[in-house]
Structure 1
Amino acid sequence: MGECPHSQSTLLNNRLIRKKYKVKPNLIPNFSPQGVGRRYAHVVLRKADIDLTKRAGELTEDEVERVITIMQNPRQYKIPDWFLNRQKDVKDGKYSQVLANGLDNKLREDLERLKKIRAHRGLRHFWGLRVRGQHTKTTGRRGRTVGVSKKK
């Protein structure tokens, strides 16, 4: 368990977690890094054999290390491929769980690739329009306004 400047908090994957909260899966997404949702947190805690009613401050160093290693290497602990948030990566074709800053980087890389190859989705992102087929006639009227000219 990482030492942190706050006596009532602990570090897990460079993220402060308050010791008083239970390590219950419905609380982990609020305090864990991006890329760890409620279901993924539940599976990780089950694979690490951690009691879900324990509080974060009661976790030992060994338990915290197990959680971190399972979060970083989910396929070694038999977490199914369909559960991971990065499936069939475009560059290497691997399955992985991307966490924290890596998630932002991967998203940015994907959007840059789409813009570079001039894909429809990439162009819509570039223009700031809706990407997933929503109507744009009446909703989403934000950004630059078109002025109305007066009659002379």
Structure 2
Amino acid sequence: MAAEEQQFKYIVRIAGTDIRGDLKLVYGLASIKGIGVTTAYAVARMLGLDPEMRVGFLTEEQIRRLEEAVSDLRKLGLPAWLFNRRKDYETGEDKHLIGADLVFHARRDIEREIRIGSWRGVRHKLGLKVRGQRTHTTGRLGMTIGVSRKKGGK
């Protein structure tokens, strides 16, 4: 038992993200940008890890396996519908991006839509809602104009 007992780590670094050691494994993985709770459950189960264990009790070997799995989810054999970038615009392949790569690709997609002048690009360019929401009363920017009351009266 003493050889298997592991030292608790208060901060664990996985995929360039510092994760608090007191979080359960799935919620710790979900704190990585680009990984949600569903994907975290899938990764934990495919690697044979208990999703309810605390991140601070992971061994170095488990952390290394998680790092490899998160960097390329295709190696785990997960279904393509679980990925966050299916049918990539340039390569046509299914990918799962995390961290800075996800932000970079999203920004590049928006810039491409602005450049080609699509409806979504025009809405982005004007700073308006893009996904069909109403704009008559919501999404206003700037200072609010409230109701002004007269001084002294009732």
User: Structure 2-normalised TM-score?
Assistant: 0.80
| Identical-residue share of aligned pairs (%) | 35
Distance 2:21 2:138 in 1: 44
Match of 2:140 in 1: 141
Match of 2:147 in 1: none
Tell me the matched-pair count. 136
For residues 119-142 of structure 1, the C-alpha deviation after alignment (integer angstroms, 9 at most, x for no partner) is 110010000111111222222222
Contact 2:123 2:130 in 1 (8 A): yes
Identify unmatched segments of 5+ residues in structure 2: 1-8, 145-154
Letter in 2 for 1:83: L
CA RMSD of aligned residues (A): 1.8
User: Helix, strand or coil: the match of 2:84?
Assistant: coil
Contact 2:28 2:55 in 1 (8 A): no
User: Helix, strand or coil: the match of 1:51?
Assistant: coil
TM-superposed deviation, 1:21: 2.8
The counterpart of 1:12, out of the listed 11, 14, 28, is 14
Identify unmatched segments of 5+ residues in structure 1: 1-6, 146-152
**Segments of 4+ moved more than 6 angstroms:** none
Q: 1:108 to 1:134 in 2, by over 3 A?
A: same
Match of 1:53 in 2: 52
Letter in 2 for 1:136: T
